[in-house]
Structure 1
Amino acid sequence: MRILLSTYGSRGDVEPLAALGAALQALGVEARVSAPGDAEFAALLARAGVPLAPAFAPVREWAKEMIRRRRASSPEGIAGLISGQAAEIVARQYDALGVAAEGCDAVVGFGLFPSCAAARLVAEKKGIPYMLGTFCPIWLPSQHNRPHEYPGHPLPADITDNRALWERDIATKNALFGEAINSQRAKLDLPALDNVRAYVYGDPVLLICDPTLGPWQPSDLIETVQPGACILPDERPLPDGLEAFLQAGSPPIYVGFGSIAVAEETARAAIEAIRAHGRRVVIAKGWAELVPIDDWDDCFAIGEVNQQALFARVAAVIHHGGAGTTHAAARSGVPQVIVPQIGDQPYWARRIAELGMGVAHDGPTPTTETLTAALEIALAPQVRVRAAEMVEEVSGDGAMQAANWLVNRLSRP
């Protein structure tokens, strides 16, 4: 059996698929991952022993171009920009996945909605099963949560029934993505769709996240299977310079925002807040290329490293709330201060706060004062104890469970 796992996104979208691909291979399945061809993802998948089939473009280059386009667009034109981007992604990703899926018996799509649409189109044309996978429960229709709000398509303030809002979400996705998907279908001599969400989502959906951090509450709007988070073990040693820094003093506080392009002022606010608590700093450069604000020896800048090893040795983690970083910090038993920016990040921030494992920052733009106050809470003894206690509940790896379920499900006639 050959299965293609497809995604288009940042590290948090790719690393779980590397873990899932490795688990599938352990079951004798020929798994491959289609992901952005950035060097960091190629190295990650090589470490997992899972073949990479490059997606339509490296994601760092694509993200920079999308930011440029959005800054050049008026607020009123953002919805049209999203639709135009979707058309480009569907068409180009369809071509890339058509090659990646050669000889495969099934396709499982993760990541951006247009990328998943391309994955389903490829599966449909090849006559093989398709399934949607996701990393956060808020993306799925449920009476327990509201749908995502898109630019130009605000959720009506006078509608409080989540079922009604999810019904409206069908029209929203048709408006934003329908033309892109149906144009590609016309090129493939396939009939037009009147509900692109149902087409892309399918039923059931594979939800890959920890059930304690991101629990799925059963819903009659869609069937969902939640085997747990897919964790890729990381045995890499920390760089010598970082190791020496860690050993030279008390545990520092980590600050990093992954693929999010935060402003330089965010790094300054974080470093000043950490220093206000008498702590040293490990700052992750990330895609924003954050750097120390001065040449003091209490701050050490890093690139991509083994988070599993690093987080176990810091006093707290300040981050953006990506699913991957949230899970890594939770599994390390370290308090978190989450400064959510976009997408599912506010959800993860809220969950960490609800579980008593850290603090959800109020809004995406921190100051020295707001982060100082947030760290005061996160570093309190009761939060440190709670974060350590929760390790037992969130340390599991669902990769093999997910792999077994996929093989059984996709093997059905």
Structure 2
Amino acid sequence: MNVLLSSIGTRGEVQPVLALALELRALGHHASLCVPPNDEHWVESFGLRCFPIGPDLEKGLRGAGGDPAKPFKPTPEQRRQLGVATVRHQFQVLGEAARGCDLVVGAGALQIAARSVAEALGIPYVFAAYCPVTFPSPEYPPLKMGIPHPQWLPAIGRVRRSPSRERRRFRLLWKDEARSFNEAFLVTLNEERAKLGLTAVDSVKPHIFTERPWLCADPVLAPDASGAGVQIVQAGAWFLPDPSALPDDLERFLANGEPPVYFGFGSMRGSQRTGRVLLEAARAVGLRAIFSRGWGNLEAADAGSDCISIGDVNHERLFVRVAGVVHHGGAGTTTAAARAGQPQIIAPHMYDQFYFARRVQTLGVGVYAPRREHLTVNTMISALRKCSSADMKARARALANRIIPNGATIAAERLAREFGGRS
């Protein structure tokens, strides 16, 4: 079986489909990937064929001229043009990449063209999401970039409404969200479908998601959202095994004292102020600190023997050796920290990060912190102390035993059973 896997997002969104590709290869199948150009060489280092798709996300998220403090803010007309160009580019790249394939798997809500390409070729298509709240439901509101809904905020200060009123309001919000998505992509999607001899679709998201989407998230940490109106297939998060050792300087730092706290915001933007706040808070509670630079160049405010700054490292090896994990709330980092049995502090920035912040708080294994720009030394001190409590540490360790460790293997085996007879 030849499978094309496509994911248009940051490293945390590419890594799960890479894990799935490797599991498919271990079963004797062939897999190739469509991912952003900044991850092309990384994917190819595993001996997999890669088709670059979309923009260089790392360059874009680092900000204008490489300055994380100056993000690109398109005008409405630029957004419209970007939407048109995105759809046309996806049809071009995926149309070429899917030739000779038996199955297309599209991961993430920006897979505008994947289903249409598979339909034109007469092959199956599977959509996979990284978080249950990707799917419309009257049980929760839609996710919007950088705009947390009160449903995802800490319970203190929430305006409480009756359940029936909440559901009515959520349905209206999902209709508005679908309308916005259609305005951005529907016309161009149907123009490209017509070129392939396909009929027009009425709405973009139901077309992308299908009636039987897959959810590559752990069922304990991110359970299937009841009432979503679709039949969801969920078998756990898709972890990428990483055999790489930790850098020597990090090993020496870990061996030279008590377990430190990990600070890292992945692909999110950072600032010098953030580094100062985090380091001062860690020192106030007597913790050493590891700063993961990420795309935002997060750094320790001042060098010292109690802190170290690092690049990309093996989270699987590192997280089991720290005192806690402070991060942005990406699905991958949240699951990796849960799998390591560590308490977490999540300062969400956008999208599903608010959901995961609320989930770790609900499960009693972490703290929902303010967004990065609103973090203060005092709020971080309070959060670090909560994460240091014996009760929270015990709950985090107990949760680790419930996380499914082989979700990518389960998913690969299921794909092979359901679609492998075509090759």
TM-score by length of 1: 0.89
- Seen in structure 2, the aligned counterparts of structure 1 residues 302 and 185 have a Cα distance that, compared at 3 Å, is same
Please name the residue that 2:49 is paired with: 51
Q: List structure 1 segments (4+ residues) > 6 angstroms apart after TM superposition.
A: 65-70
Question: Is 1:42 the counterpart of 2:24 in the alignment?
Answer: no
CA–CA separation in structure 2 for the residues paired with 1:275 and 1:70: 31
Residues 2, 31 of structure 1: 8 Å contact kept: yes
Please name the residue that 1:380 is paired with: 389
Within a 5 Å distance, the mapping from 1:153-232 to structure 2 comes to: 160-161=167-168, 162-188=170-196, 190-219=198-227, 221-232=229-240
Residues 69, 269 of structure 2: 8 Å contact kept: no
Residues 70, 81 of structure 1: 8 Å contact kept: no
Determine which structure has greater relative contact order: mean sequence separation of CA pairs < 8 Å that are 6+ residues apart, divided by chain length: 2
Question: Is 1:110 the counterpart of 2:107 in the alignment?
Answer: yes
Please name the residue that 1:92 is paired with: 89
What's the offset of the Cα at 1:173? 2.1
Seq. identity, %:
37
- Seen in structure 2, the aligned counterparts of structure 1 residues 129 and 396 have a Cα distance that, compared at 3 Å, is same
Instruction: String of CA shifts for 1:123-173, please: whole Å, max 9, x gaps.
Output: 122222212111100001223222224799x99x97642445434443232
CA–CA separation in structure 1 for the residues paired with 2:43 and 2:190: 35
Please name the residue that 1:10 is paired with: 10
Question: Is 1:389 the counterpart of 2:398 in the alignment?
Answer: yes
Please name the residue that 2:117 is paired with: 122
- Seen in structure 2, the aligned counterparts of structure 1 residues 244 and 401 have a Cα distance that, compared at 3 Å, is same
CA–CA separation in structure 1 for the residues paired with 2:9 and 2:144: 19
Please name the residue that 1:243 is paired with: 251
Within the candidate set 254, 274, 285, 2:282 is matched to: 274
What's the offset of the Cα at 1:246? 0.6
Question: Is 1:400 the counterpart of 2:398 in the alignment?
Answer: no
What's the offset of the Cα at 1:44? 5.1
CA–CA separation in structure 1 for the residues paired with 2:212 and 2:279: 44
What's the offset of the Cα at 1:3? 0.8
Task: Please provide the CA RMSD for this pair.
Answer: 2.6
CA–CA separation in structure 2 for the residues paired with 1:173 and 1:353: 31
Question: Is 1:138 the counterpart of 2:133 in the alignment?
Answer: yes
CA–CA separation in structure 2 for the residues paired with 1:177 and 1:138: 21
* Aligned-partner SS, 2:325: strand
CA–CA separation in structure 2 for the residues paired with 1:69 and 1:185: 37
Please name the residue that 1:147 is paired with: 142
Residues 159, 165 of structure 1: 8 Å contact kept: no
What's the offset of the Cα at 1:262? 2.5
Question: Is 1:30 the counterpart of 2:27 in the alignment?
Answer: no
What's the offset of the Cα at 1:361? 0.7
CA–CA separation in structure 1 for the residues paired with 2:310 and 2:414: 38
Please name the residue that 1:349 is paired with: 357
What's the offset of the Cα at 1:61? 2.7
- Seen in structure 2, the aligned counterparts of structure 1 residues 151 and 302 have a Cα distance that, compared at 3 Å, is closer
Residues 230, 398 of structure 1: 8 Å contact kept: yes
Instruction: String of CA shifts for 1:223-254, please: whole Å, max 9, x gaps.
Output: 11001111111111100011001111111111
